[in-house]
Chains A and B, each alone.
Chain A
């Protein structure tokens, strides 16, 4: 509060300032230590295991309990592990395809849901939310049974289909509020100036939605890349997505290489999520991820 005072005022005596500061930090302003401790404990439980994984990824020994010194040994091992590398490639492919597919369909669905004001439309809007609350294992088992029932061999393709289906809801939830906030007169203005309906959407509506579209694309990429449950139930034997490959590897004894892979995945995901939160700011406005950032 003293900062806000104009410097031109005659300086009050020091004791007076101190007294005011003390009064300013009254009972209500003091931070209760218990709450600080609980918060610290929460973060410790949340991040310590991850920190341990990250630390031991740099271990020079093979041990998972004794830290022998800093080394990039396990990262080198990962880079030369063809099976893990091919799984990484598979995961990247799945994530990219799922991202593209779910963004295209999700944006279209968001546009449709906001503009379709029939009863069937609002019903579709509710049904669309179901994947968000369905336990992922149920979605996973159901997808697997569906593919089996249809006689489709499980493969990278089936993982992509399942992931797209599952991710559309996220894109639509993020985009829907943005679409609803659009001024309908803007698209009408495009029509008025000679644009066809499709041109109006492409030249005016989509650019206005771009920040939210990019943000949701990055989010979907990160979610799909990290996904295990759905991938586990819908993947074929070879090649397997990275998360499934890691799980299989752990069953036969934990290799420290996994620590290195896990740390890399974590770093990648953190970067992507940060990017998703940052993109709307790049466009100088609030974007589609208000739900995530709590803003």
Chain B
């Protein structure tokens, strides 16, 4: 793989008045990747994207594209294109003219423009609508026009600012798959901003989870989900059973509850306050294996939701765990637990994460 990252942010900050939207961010994005910036609203992900695109000037630090410092360059002189959240189509131009806009600005020959616009409209499946106006299209179609208008310029990096947020759930799922396919086909680096962790997990090669202007963790979807580096990442990515307690000699004593054996951890001193995290789907309710931590608790709630059932199990007063069980073919209705019963549950030690 090319050693020069497609995008490099070097100590980039953006300060508004006296608060930081982005704080001393270092980030490398490899060429050809589908990279997601994920976080709740206000975490600085869109500001980061706008600084890469050139719409917002960093207060400090530098932005590099393919090794070239572009911090001082305006958007029209950066080899990146953007798909805006509102799509930002030009309503007075036809679909074909919208897509041709960038090529015309860059002085591409007419015949080539016609050919490339045609190819691009085919890629996003809008060939029949070239002469229509943007106002006559549906949300999903407008989204494709915005994508085609950006991609036709063959940018080194494509920036996408929550492009699917305005679509309904079904269309969104479909576009997620399509976007991923298109990205593989064109091989362009995608930087995708989203607050939807499902979306980031399904589409990305790598994810940077952001909070309060900083990157909490950067890694593959599996890394980020299975090995969250902080309490924030564990709770933001999917559901986690987060319990606070005090670490002492290979176990965490929960506040007002039992001690959970977590094994000896290097780098954590006795008496440190920590969080313990276990994913609901990593907790077993039967068929325990040797070596698992097995505890018992009282079922407080049973929530049936088709393919899965969620149990809320009270481990100790004030400590309730959520446990997810697949409703497989073998699981029978009458085998399901009901409220008030005391059950045993357990997990493999490696699925119990200790977060400082």
A208: B residues at CB distance < 8 A: 91-92
> A275–B313 Cα gap in the complex (Å)?
72
Which segment, of B80-88, B205-213, B325-333, faces chain A?
B80-88
Q: Are A183 and B86 in contact (CB under 8 A)?
A: yes
In the bound complex, CA of A204 to CA of B76 (Å): 15
Are A207 and B92 touching (Cβ within 8 A)? Answer: yes
B53 is an interface residue with CB less than 8 A from chain A: yes
B284 within 8 A of A: no
Given A194-B105, A194-B106, A194-B153, also A188-B88 (CB < 8 A): yes
Which A residues are CB-close (under 8 A) to B81?
192-193
Beta-carbon contact of A189 and B92 below 8 Å? no
Give the residues from 47 to 102 in chain B that come closer than 8 angstroms, CB to CB, to chain A. Answer: 53-55, 74-76, 80-82, 84-86, 88-92, 101-102
Q: Is the CB of B86 within 8 A of A193?
A: no
User: Chain A residues with Cβ under 8 A from B86's Cβ?
Assistant: 183, 185-186
In the complex, the answer to whether B88 meets A193 with C-beta atoms within 8 Å is: no
**Shortest distance in angstroms between B193's beta carbon and chain A's nearest beta carbon?**
14
CA of A194 to CA of B101 in the docked complex: distance in angstroms? 9
Q: Is A190 close to B, CB under 8 A?
A: yes
Q: A194 touching B88 by the CB < 8 A rule? A: no
Scan A202-221; emit 1 where CB is below 8 A from any B CB, else 0: 01100110100000000000
- B contact residues, total (Cβ < 8 Å): 24
Q: B84 touching A193 by the CB < 8 A rule?
A: no
What's the Cα separation between A207 and B85 when bound, in Å? 22
Classify chain A's interface size: 10 to 19
The residue of chain A having its C-beta at the shortest distance from the C-beta of B155 within the complex is A192
Does the CB pair A193–B85 fall under 8 Å? no
CB pair B91 A195 closer than 8 Å: no
User: Is the pair A204, B90 in contact by a Cβ cutoff of 8 Å?
Assistant: yes
A122 within 8 A of B: no
Q: Once the chains bind, are A188 and B90 in contact (CB under 8 Å)?
A: no
Taking CB as reference atom, which chain A residue is nearest B82? Answer: A192
- The minimal Cβ–Cβ distance linking A37 to chain B, given in whole angstroms, is 46
Contact between A195 and B90 (Cβ–Cβ < 8 Å)? no
Assembled-state Cα–Cα distance A191/B84 (Å): 12
Please give, as numbers and ranges, the residues of chain B lying within 8 Å of A193 by CB-CB distance.
76, 81, 101-102, 105, 149-150, 153
Residues in A neighbouring B106, C-beta threshold 8 A:
194
Contact check, B53 vs A192: say whether CB atoms are below 8 A apart: yes
Taking the complex as formed, is A63 at the interface, i.e. its CB lies under 8 A from any CB of chain B? no
Known: A185-B84, A185-B85, A188-B55. A194 touches B76 (CB 8 A): yes
**CA A204 to CA B101, docked complex, whole Å:** 10
Within 8 A of A (CB), among B247-265: none
- Are B92 and A210 in touch, CB under 8 angstroms? yes
A199 interface hit (Cβ, 8 Å): yes
CB nearest to B74 among chain A residues:
A191
Chain B residues, CB < 8 A from A188:
55, 75, 82, 84, 88
Within 8 A of A (CB), among B139-153: 149-150, 153
Which of A183, A191, A199, A204 is within 8 Å of B75, CB to CB? A191
- Residues on A with C-beta less than 8 A from B80 are 192
- Inter-chain contact A189/B82, CB cutoff 8 Å: yes
Chain B residues with CB under 8 A of A203 = 90, 101
Contact yes or no, B105 A199, CB < 8 A: yes
Complex Cα distance, B88 from A195, in Å, reads: 15
- The answer, among B53, B84, B91, B102, for a CB contact under 8 Å with A194, is B102
Q: Which residue of A lies closest to B106 (CB)?
A: A194
* A191 and B76 contact, CB distance less than 8 A: yes
A196 within 8 A of partner (CB):
yes
Chain A residues with CB below 8 A from B89, complex form:
186, 189
Query: A208 vs B92: C-alpha distance in the bound complex, in angstroms?
Result: 7
Q: How many angstroms between the C-alpha atoms of A281 and B26 in the bound complex?
A: 52
Known: A199-B105, A204-B90, A208-B92. A189 touches B76 (CB 8 A): no
- Which A residues between 210 and 238 are near B, CB-CB below 8 angstroms? 210
Query: Of residues 130 to 167 in A, which have CB atoms within 8 Å of B's CB atoms?
Result: none
**Which residues of B lie under 8 Å from residue A196 when comparing CB positions?**
76
Looking at the assembled complex, report how far the CB atom of A210 sits from the nearest CB atom of chain B, in whole angstroms: 7
**Given the complex of chains A and B, what is the CA–CA distance between A185 and B53 in angstroms?**
12
* B residues in contact with A210, CB < 8 Å: 92
Q: Is the CB of A185 within 8 A of B91?
A: no
Additional A-B contact list (18), CB under 8 Å, known A189-B88, A189-B89, A193-B153: A185-B86, A186-B89, A188-B75, A191-B54, A191-B55, A191-B76, A192-B53, A192-B82, A192-B150, A193-B76, A193-B105, A193-B149, A194-B153, A196-B76, A203-B101, A204-B90, A207-B92, A208-B92
What would 7 A/B residue contacts be, using CB atoms closer than 8 Å? A185-B88, A186-B89, A188-B55, A188-B88, A192-B76, A195-B76, A207-B92
List residues of B whose CB falls within 8 A of some A CB: 53-55, 74-76, 80-82, 84-86, 88-92, 101-102, 105-106, 149-150, 153
6 nearest CB pairs, A to B? A193-B102, A194-B105, A185-B88, A189-B88, A207-B92, A191-B75
